Structure 1
């Protein structure tokens, strides 16, 4: 796989970008605390004396360079994808040995991306039809210099193969080793959308929780999405 010198770098500034995550993942108190991230190792060491399970909640802090950690309100939504990376959960731009924060430039893009991956999970588990899972919308800002795959020939780029992660993971490993902050690329599940794969939590900021969402599984696909707050139900049409 060619290195980053073959891919242009663009400044990406998104306000109101969206990430959708499972509601099963609660905020992590340490990341939300007012303490300076530089003090986290000492706080963790002290907390472990009375709460040996704290590392299960926090994850592996060593996966995030000290200078790129973020704290304060909403920081869990930026830090957790990196401290809870796992080779059991590979994705397009990581084999799971390091974390990636995936963001859509608009709500619809994040929605269609998560619907696709949730459907793949449901097929594997052979779950019966029904309202299967709850998700939460995270609204945030992106500000980073990202390697840009948004060119006119993007559809033919091997890293954007809709059925394989082999080339994309190889590219991401190379870029990350070269010091890249991440990748901006056209959404593979939402034709008009744009996505960012961020390699560090400080590439995003100002995360706030938005809507709670329920996904309905009809046995073959996610066919309905419900806004848990208003009760409105929306039918998922063919992905535009």
Structure 2
């Protein structure tokens, strides 16, 4: 599963039943009446045609690859290509996103409060992954909590070699596991789960609220 910001809406082109091979023609036609459509879709050329996915929920798989920027690097990418990060369980996904959200909130000096809404996406992963789990210190540099240099070099090398992605132990929750998928067709059947609210106390995300039930949970750092 993964947790994403609710501010990102589904993208009509990806959700359409049209064959992904026809997307460039459809996009060209759409732009004639809606010049802002490319901003919504992102850069489709970043995904090889044979690895694109469409249909219900496809936005949750494609957007990570078409909306990329070197201003938003991640563990296994310098931002020049996309990676779809997925956790093996809800709690792991929660701690992964809380960490990154807290860094953003601190960097922008946001005021305390219920600041952001997120949604849980449940999906299936089927891919041939390079496994960093149980390797001792061999890949320790790639799992550094703050320095992504080694991990990005590994991610780029594996992507250039045609790898589907990487399985690795979560850096934000002991015992959790994650995967970084290098192509959208490595996952399938995405469906929306819980809606969540994160509370920022000025220093950290201290509370998470299940928007559906109204239940509030305190975040206890390990």
> Which portions of structure 1, spanning 4 or more consecutive aligned residues, are displaced by more than 6 angstroms?
none
- Equivalent residue for 1:113? 96
Q: Secondary structure at the match of 1:145?
A: coil
Q: Extract unaligned runs of 5+ from structure 1.
A: 1-17
> Deviation of residue 154 (structure 1)?
5.0
Q: Superposed, which structure 2 residues align to 1:180-191 within 5 Å?
A: 180-191=163-174
Q: Secondary structure at the match of 1:231?
A: coil
Q: TM-score, normalised by structure 2?
A: 0.98
1:26 pairs with 2:9: yes
Q: Distance in 1 between matches of 2:167 and 2:137?
A: 11
Determine if contact 1:154/1:186 at 8 Å carries over to the other structure.
no
Q: Distance in 2 between matches of 1:126 and 1:162?
A: 22
RCO comparison, higher one (Cα < 8 Å, 6+): 1
- Equivalent residue for 2:117? 134
**RMSD over aligned Cα atoms:** 1.0
Distance change >3 Å, CA 43–CA 156, structure 1 → 2: closer
Q: Superposed, which structure 2 residues align to 1:7-26 within 5 Å?
A: 18-26=1-9
Q: Superposed, which structure 2 residues align to 1:45-56 within 5 Å?
A: 45-56=28-39
- Equivalent residue for 1:74? 57
- Equivalent residue for 1:104? 87
Q: Extract unaligned runs of 5+ from structure 2.
A: none
1:165 pairs with 2:159: no
Q: Distance in 2 between matches of 1:206 and 1:158?
A: 33
> Deviation of residue 156 (structure 1)?
5.7
Distance change >3 Å, CA 44–CA 156, structure 1 → 2: closer
Determine if contact 1:154/1:160 at 8 Å carries over to the other structure.
no
Distance change >3 Å, CA 127–CA 155, structure 1 → 2: farther
Q: Distance in 2 between matches of 1:218 and 1:165?
A: 27
1:219 pairs with 2:205: no
Q: Secondary structure at the match of 2:55?
A: coil
Q: Secondary structure at the match of 1:223?
A: strand
Q: Secondary structure at the match of 1:144?
A: coil
Q: Secondary structure at the match of 1:77?
A: helix
Q: Distance in 2 between matches of 1:92 and 1:125?
A: 21
Q: Distance in 2 between matches of 1:93 and 1:233?
A: 33
Question: For this pair of structures, how many residues does the alignment match?
Answer: 222
- Equivalent residue for 1:3? none
Distance change >3 Å, CA 172–CA 237, structure 1 → 2: same
Q: Distance in 2 between matches of 1:165 and 1:154?
A: 16
> Deviation of residue 128 (structure 1)?
1.1
- Equivalent residue for 1:235? 218
